[in-house]
Amino acid sequence: MSRSSNLEPPKVKPPRPQLKPIHGVPLPEWLADNWAKVEHFQAKPDDVLIVTYPKAGTTWIQQIVDLINCNGDAELSKRGPIDVKIPFLEIFAEGFATGVEMIEKMPSPRFIKTHLPIQLVPKSFWEKDCKMIVLARNSKDNLVSYFHFHRMNYALPEAGTWLQFLQKFVNGQVAWGFWYDHAKGWWEAKNKHRILFLFYEDMKEKPSREILKVAKFLDKVLEEDVIEKVVELSSFAVMKDDPMVNYSTLPSTIFDQTISCFMRKGEVGDWKNHFTVAQHEAFEEDYERKMRDSSIKFRDVL
Ligand code: PPS
């Protein structure tokens, strides 16, 4: 399995993209310019959508889902890179097949990744009543991870300094828009549709418990030894060194992992190494204002 395309990936780092609004949500221009292809995507009833805000643990839940589908078989799960087995709906990268093209060639049941806020999800997913697995991560660790990702990912705008990025995140001037709206929108929808809502912090606390929730949602029954294998093979330590999930197979002109690793730390609470006391106070005050109309509760320490 490969990211097949007749085109060549870029040999030099491309210029950083601008953000362009689609229905008010800033998206990288390579996506905004192809928006119609995403909007008109035709879902099938047995498609499963994996939904995250960027850097909330997408690759982790993708790996868990794939391992569950493989019944914990390590060899089978190594049949291809995670972004080929579970393509990213809205990716349009020079030199690679697009997410939509890859998904359209896949046999059912198809598992599909998206970062879209709920209002931008193509309407066919709702018409077909598809199952959706949503994974959310506390805002401060999510922000820290997104900052480091901007530093190394040439398909996103420049990160700028930590303070500049913090301000852009709070003001929703980052790709895929406001973290706050993403979290609230999906949380509100969870009881109205076939949605399993998970938290990164719960997965860190007791992965086996959350893996069982996913298996049940997918109507899979896992033996005890399979659960143990899924826990092990989806652990941060194993995933960090697994080329099928650590994106080391992508050229450094796209992800320059000498700047920051894709599998960076995988922890809860790394925000404490980034925020000053004053930045933290201001962030919390603003968070309280933005989130007071929602019942969603995150943990940022374990
Ligand atoms: S992306 O580009 O949006 O798809 O990135 P995403 O996979 O959502 O986020 C990457 C962050 O998830 C961490 N990660 C993990 N944490 C714990 N356990 C496992 N197994 C795991 N796999 C990935 C990864 O390290 C990134 O977080 P940070 O905080 O930057 O380390």
Whether 229 has a pLDDT exceeding 60, the answer reads yes
Predicted pLDDT of residue 151: 98
CA 222 to chain centre: 25
Predicted pLDDT of residue 289: 98
Predicted pLDDT of residue 92: 97
Q: Which of 186, 198, 148 is nearest to 169 (CA)?
A: 148
Instruction: Kindly state if the Cβ of 60 falls inside 6 Å of ligand 1.
Output: yes
Overall average pLDDT of the 269-290 stretch: 98
Segment among 3-7, 46-50, 280-284 with least mean pLDDT: 3-7
| 147 CA distance to ligand 1 middle (Å) | 13
Give 302's pLDDT tier (boundaries 50, 70, 90). Answer: confident
Radius of gyration of the chain (CA): 18
Whether 117 has a pLDDT exceeding 90, the answer reads yes
Give 6's pLDDT tier (boundaries 50, 70, 90). Answer: low
Pairing of strands 48-52, 131-136: parallel
Indicate which residue of 23, 115, 148, 274 is catalytic: 115
Predicted pLDDT of residue 5: 57
Predicted pLDDT of residue 11: 82
Exposure class string for 188-205: b at 16+ Cβ within 10 A, else e: ebeeeeebbbbbbbbbbe
Task: Output 301 or 106, whichever has higher pLDDT.
Answer: 106
Match 């004053």 to its residue by tokens.
Answer: 278
Residue nearest to atom 18 of ligand 1 (CA): 236
Dist. CA 47–CA 200, nearest whole Å: 23
Which atom belonging to ligand 1 lies closest to the Cα atom of 270? 29
Overall average pLDDT of the 140-164 stretch: 98
Overall average pLDDT of the 237-256 stretch: 96
The pair of structure tokens assigned to 276 is 């000053």
Looking at CATH, the fold of the domain delimited by 28-144+161-249+264-291 is given as Rossmann fold (3.40.50)
Residue nearest to atom 30 of ligand 1 (CA): 145
Residue nearest to atom 6 of ligand 1 (CA): 55
Q: What is the pTM of this model?
A: 0.97
| Average pLDDT of the residues of the chain | 96
Instruction: Kindly state if the Cβ of 87 falls inside 6 Å of ligand 1.
Output: no
Dist. CA 52–CA 183, nearest whole Å: 9
Whether 3 has a pLDDT exceeding 90, the answer reads no
| 50 CA distance to ligand 1 middle (Å) | 14
The residue type found at 299 is R
- Listed in order, strand segments (DSSP E) in 107-233 are 111-114, 131-136, 195-199
Three-state secondary structure string covering 104-134: HHCCCCCEEEECCCHHHCCHHHHHCCCEEEE
Domain borders along the chain are 28-144+161-249+264-291
Segment among 7-11, 38-42, 188-192, 240-244 with least mean pLDDT: 7-11
Instruction: Kindly state if the Cβ of 229 falls inside 6 Å of ligand 1.
Output: no
Predicted pLDDT of residue 7: 65
Half-sphere exposure at residue 47, Cβ-oriented, CA atoms within 13 angstroms: 25
